[in-house]
Structure 1
Amino acid sequence: MTEECRVCVDAGVCKMKTLITARDNGMGLIEIDIKSDCPNVLKMSWKLEPMSPYAEVEAEFSKSSVYKLADEAIPHTACPVPAGIIKALEVAGDLGLKRDSSIRFLQEGEEVDIS
């Protein structure tokens, strides 16, 4: 069992920030606590129940509890918060390592080495 995992998601142009805390409840389920500037993310968080990290991380997008709740509450599909919730759940469930991820816009002519 890992200690709690905390993730901060800066959603970008809307300037809304979300703090996600995921922790094992000792019964194999992960509890998610969310603090956010975004009323839509908060609306989603009210329905989050403890969940199995295995079932959620391995679920198809359309069957993920997190993405189903996001579909009901968040009007903007480009919102990165649901992915942040899944990443926190994955780490808190000992299924992944803590490593930052990002989306970065490239300048015209900028190259990226993908090897």
Structure 2
Amino acid sequence: MTDCKVCVDAGVCKMKTIITATTDEMGMVKLDIKSDCPDILKMSWRLESFSPYSEVEAEFYKSEVYKLAQETPIPHTACPVPSAMVKAIEVAGDLGLKRDVTIRFIDDDSEA
């Protein structure tokens, strides 16, 4: 299994989050979260180990990460941190590759 570390710069709020995903001998993924955001920290206190297969293939409303984001609650639906958590679980579980994800604002299609 591949352990990984992800840094999320959430944008306008300027709060950074570092997610470290490690896999145990049973293939379960544990997340360690360091964040400037109090809501993300509160969510992180409730995180348990994840089955990468179950989490990555879950429908959004059945994802344990997104359920915790709803229950915490994370007050900003556009927050990219829960998505980054799922991505880290995917990579640590050897279900995806380490590849950056980018959201850029553009004025014209030619900038894509």
The offset of 1:49, in angstroms, is 0.2
CA distance in 1, matches of 2:110, 2:16: 28
> TM-score normalised to the size of structure 1?
0.92
Aligned sequence identity (%): 68
1:96 CA displacement = 0.1
Query: In the alignment, what sits opposite 2:97?
Result: 97
Q: Which sections of structure 1, spanning at least 5 residues, go unmatched? A: none
What is the 5 A alignment of 1:1-115?
1-2=1-2, 4-73=3-72, 74-107=74-107, 110-112=108-110
In structure 2, C-alpha distance between the alignment counterparts of 1:71 and 1:77, rounded to whole Å: 9
TM-superposed deviation, 1:112? 4.3
Give distance in 2, aligned partners of 1:16 and 1:113: 27
Specify the code of the residue in structure 2 equivalent to 1:65: E
Q: Per the alignment, do residues 104 and 62 of structure 1 end up closer, same or farther by CA in structure 2, a change over 3 Å counting?
A: same
In the TM superposition, structure 1's runs of 4+ consecutive aligned residues that sit over 6 Å from their partners are none
Work out which of the two has the higher radius of gyration on C-alpha atoms and give 1 or 2.
1
| Displacement after TM superposition at 1:93 (Å) | 0.2
Aligned-pair CA distance for 1:25: 1.2
Q: How many residues align?
A: 111
Residue aligned with 2:77, SS: coil
RMSD: 1.2
AA aligned to 2:109 is E
Q: Which amino acid aligns with 1:79?
A: C
Tell me the CA shift for residue 113 of structure 1: 7.8
Gaps of 5+ in 2: none
